[in-house]
Amino acid sequence: MAVQNPQNPQWRNPWDRSPATHAPQIRLTHADRDAVAEVLREAYSQGQLDEDEFEERLDKAMRAKVSNDLAPLTTDLGVQVSPGGTGNAPGVTQQNGNQSKDKAKDRGPTTDNPVEKVGAAAGHLSAWFLPFLAPLVLMIIGGELSPYLKRQAMEALNFQLFCLIGGVVSVLLFWLVVPLMALVLIGLGWVVLPIIATIASLQGARWRYPMVYRLIKDDN
């Protein structure tokens, strides 16, 4: 029998061999993390999270160890994640009673819609035939109908603007070694990266250009 110290309720008799009263938290599985990641994707597609918030929370969800790590990521979205995973997906409850988490999947960061795939691919490939204008039109026209198309068109436009500004600055500073090397890298990126982005878009994947400063950000 454990003897309790009234001045320290958490103190236990060192001779007491009875099991601890608190139950350990069960570690999460991939299915647990994927369930919360899907909630975050839906919230992002509906405008509850901006891009930075979505990226930050998704990263935390993928690195979570126990269910209590996931709960703070969805509470302010009207979704509660039951702590204490059981090896299956954790309990995910919409506070408004609506549990249709998949209703906006094809409008999220990834898509299975062939029209959205082709439109996003055209926005990336426009770097070769109609730069700046094509992704801008796709972002404006398709933005309300397809968050996926809007996101990919915005990526294409940011990439093209970044290359334009970087190229102009490098030309103005052509007598220096570093800007000259940067100009070569920008040229290679302009040729190669739109091809990779086009392939990714035709597969419905979410593509982000590497090492690109994004002048245009999503206000949602």
Identify which has the larger pLDDT, 47 or 193. 193
Least confident of 21-30, 87-96, 209-218: 87-96
Contacts of residue 64, defined as CB under 8 A and 6 or more positions apart, other chains included, come to: 28, 32, 33, 36, 70
Tens of pLDDT, residue by residue over 22-60, are 556 778 888 888 888 888 888 887 778 888 888 888 888
Q: What H or E segment, with its residue span, contains residue 172? A: helix 147-172
Tens of pLDDT, residue by residue over 67-87, are 788 888 888 887 776 644 443
pLDDT at 15 over 90: no
Q: 100: pLDDT confidence band, cut at 50, 70 and 90?
A: very low
**What's the confidence (pLDDT) of residue 123?**
93
Least confident of 69-73, 91-95, 151-155: 91-95
**What's the confidence (pLDDT) of residue 6?**
45
Q: What is the rounded CA–CA span in Å between residue 185 and residue 75?
A: 44
Least confident of 18-22, 144-148, 180-184, 194-198: 18-22
Q: Which of 4-13, 60-69, 193-202 is most confident?
A: 193-202
pLDDT at 191 over 70: yes
Across residues 117-144, what is the average pLDDT? 89
Concatenate the DSSP letters of all residues of 16-71 into one string. --SPPSSPPPPBP-HHHHHHHHHHHHHHHHTTSS-HHHHHHHHHHHHH--BHHHHH
Identify which has the larger pLDDT, 62 or 23. 62
Q: Are 203 and 121 in contact (CB under 8 A)?
A: no
Q: What is the rounded CA–CA span in Å between residue 90 and residue 139?
A: 36
Q: In this prediction, what percent of the chain has a pLDDT beyond 90?
A: 22
pLDDT at 144 over 90: no
